[in-house]
Amino acid sequence: MQHRLPADIERSSLAIIRRELEEKRIALPAETEAVVCRVIHATADFDYAQSLRFTPQAVEKGAAALSGGADIVTDTNMALAGISKAGLRKLGGAAHCFMAEDFIAAAAKEQGTTRAVASMAYAAEHYPEAVYAIGNAPTALFALADRIEAGLRPALVIAVPVGFVNVVESKERLFAVCERCAVPAIAAMGRKGGSSVAAAICNALIYTAADLLDPSARGWQG
């Protein structure tokens, strides 16, 4: 049977994912199921069922922050483009990426650092309680870890950069710092991740907070 409406396609895709997880004898905790399935839906990669790690109640706390109007700060315009703006507006929040801003480029040049580090410094000053969704830059995670140790308390950190240099180390350090400082965190341990994964996790949290997990509730009928 062919599905043509987006809501039917998404609903069928998630049913396939849940069936294949069952066939693989992978049982997801109820709290994290929506996030893990959304990431698998975005990537067709079942490895995330094993590699995604969560601090206690990370999903619940992230969704609660978004329900309260928290903003999202991300490190790529690609992730920014993938985040559901309609769902976020329903909750009273907005999404931001400062990486391409001229003032960030100027600050990075002046400080002799990367745009990712400069953008995290700016975000930490102006959006200290935001949800941070990092899908590309390990240096952003290192910068956030330093600032969390210094007292920054974001609502949630999503740590999912992809790549080969400093990627694994940045996730491990960020996650350990978040555990120690009681900051909620979701991380894709290992080399895999990326902007699509960051956006997928954000959307799972937005849909949970806004009661939009059923795609038909989003008006997806055409």
DSSP line for the chain? ----SHHHHHHHHHHHHHHHHHHTT----HHHHHHHHHHHHHH--TTHHHHEEE-TTHHHHHHHHHHTT--EEES-HHHHHHS-HHHHHHHT--EEE-TT-HHHHHHHHHHTS-HHHHHHHHHHHH-TTSEEEESS-HHHHHHHHHHHHTT---SEEEE---SSSSHHHHHHHHHHHHHHHT--EEEE-SS---HHHHHHHHHHHHHHHTT--SGGGGT---
Q: Any bridge partners for residue 95, and if so which?
A: 72
Positions annotated as catalytic residues are 41
How many Å apart are CA 205 and CA 213, to the nearest integer? 9
CB-based contacts of 106, cutoff 8 Å, min separation 6: none
